[in-house]
Amino acid sequence: MADWGYGENNGPSTWGKHFPIADEGKEQSPIDIQLSDCQEESSLPKLEYSYDSLKDLAITNTGAQWRVDYQPGHSSVTGGPLDAKFELQQMHAHWGTTEGVGSEHVFNGESFDGELHFVHYNTKYGSFGEAVDKPDGLGVFCIFLKVGEANHPEFGKITERMSSILRKGETSTLQAELDPTKLVPEGLEEYLTYHGSLTTPPCLETVTFMIFNTKPMTISKGQMDSMRSLLVGTEDGCDCMTQNFRPPCPQNDRVVKKIKM
Ligand SMILES: [Zn+2]
């Protein structure tokens, strides 16, 4: 496996060397979404999601992100642009060195401070591993992070574990039961959807995105800084994980749809 990352020598502009689709693919993600160009679509069934609150979820420093692994059989996402039942596999986030940058998806050229991804797989393929390379294999919720005054209590169950997974490869367990429902914005009236790719290698074009850009989640500066304190390597003194987002890719002829909840 190539040693990809977000540094000068292994960052997004170099990924195509080992993963040609990153440069040659026509459906790469993220993209810069021009909100006035989105097309309203009203014929889709209602997007429904349900997650159980679970104990003892594993959290890992992958060297590129933190990742919380969810347990199969405890979630379902159906409707909207999805034509089958999808299950939550894992969640992770992207962020920046400073506020003002950090999200992967960008709206009219403007970034949020971070972006949380819920990665679901299509249950018709039986497992995440089988689904990951199928065009309709994955469905990703994008939830945006904004630094404000208050701690987000549910998100805090994740960020309080950063000190126990400081180095790449370290794994720990969430101390409190995590309810993913409390991380999805409340009172959503609409979302955006389009077909794109994993935003990290291998950049497979297998993702249906569902983007909740109208209601970002507010987290505290302390919560954001705890994510920035993660290390990208296995030794003390290596670089901090301060910037782990891919810049926008060409939209090409893809249309972003706007769906009412
Ligand atoms: Zn992601």
Structure tokens at 189: 């009236």
Pair 124, 86: CB distance under 8 Å: no
Residue 79: CB atoms within 10 A of its CB come to: 14
Q: Which of 260, 114, 111 is nearest to 188 (CA)?
A: 260
Ligand 1 center–CA 180 separation, angstroms: 16
Q: Specify whether the CB–CB gap between 207 and 193 falls below 8 A.
A: no
pLDDT over threshold 70, residue 45 = yes
Distance CA 22, CA 247 (A): 12
- Indicate the Cα dihedral angle 195, 201, 202, 205, nearest 10°: 10
- DSSP one-letter string for 172-210: EE-SS-B-GGGGSPTT--EEEEEEE--SSTT--S-EEEE
Q: Which residues contact 131 (CB under 8 A, 6 or more apart)?
A: 121, 122, 125, 137, 138, 206
Output the CA 22–ligand 1 centroid distance in Å: 15
Ligand 1 center to 250 CA (angstroms)? 18
Q: Give me ligand 1 centre to Cα 19, in Å.
A: 17
Q: Determine the distance separating the centroid of ligand 1 and the alpha carbon of 90, expressed in angstroms.
A: 10
Peptide bond into 216 cis (omega under 30): no
DSSP 240: B
Side-chain-side CA neighbours of 162 within 13 Å: the count stands at 20
Q: Is the dihedral of CA 204, 206, 212, 214 positive or negative?
A: positive
Determine the Cα angle at 179 with ends 230 and 182, to 5°: 90
25-53 mean pLDDT: 97
28 within 8 A of 206, measured Cβ to Cβ:
no
Contact (CB, 8 A) for 115 and 103: yes
Q: For residue 62, how far is its CA from the centre of ligand 1 (angstroms)?
A: 12
- 239-252 per-residue burial string, b: 16 or more CB within 10 A, e: under 16: eebbbbbbebbebe
**pLDDT (tens digit, 9 = 90+) per residue, 211-232?**
999 999 999 999 999 999 999 9
Q: Which domains are delineated in the chain? A: 52-246 (3.10.200.10)
**Tens of pLDDT, residues 181-219:** 999 999 999 999 999 999 999 999 999 999 999 999 999
Round to whole Å and give the CA distance between 142 and 158: 17
Q: Token digits for 260?
A: 């009412």
132 CA to middle of ligand 1, Å?
A: 14
From ligand 1's centre to the CA of 92, what distance in Å? Answer: 6
Whole-number pLDDT of residue 49: 97
Ligand 1 midpoint to CA 63 (Å): 13
Residues 159 and 181: their CA atoms lie apart, in Å, by 17
Over the stretch 109-121, which tens digit does the pLDDT of each residue have? 999 999 999 999 9
CB 49 within 8 A of CB 70: no
Mean pLDDT of the chain: 96
Span from the CA of 60 to the centroid of ligand 1 (angstroms) = 14
Q: For residue range 73-113, list pLDDT tens digits in order.
A: 999 999 999 999 999 999 999 999 999 999 999 999 999 99
SS3 content of the chain, % helix, strand, coil (to 5): 15, 35, 50
How far, in Å, from the CA of 14 to the mean position of ligand 1?
Answer: 18
Residue 1: its pLDDT value, please?
45
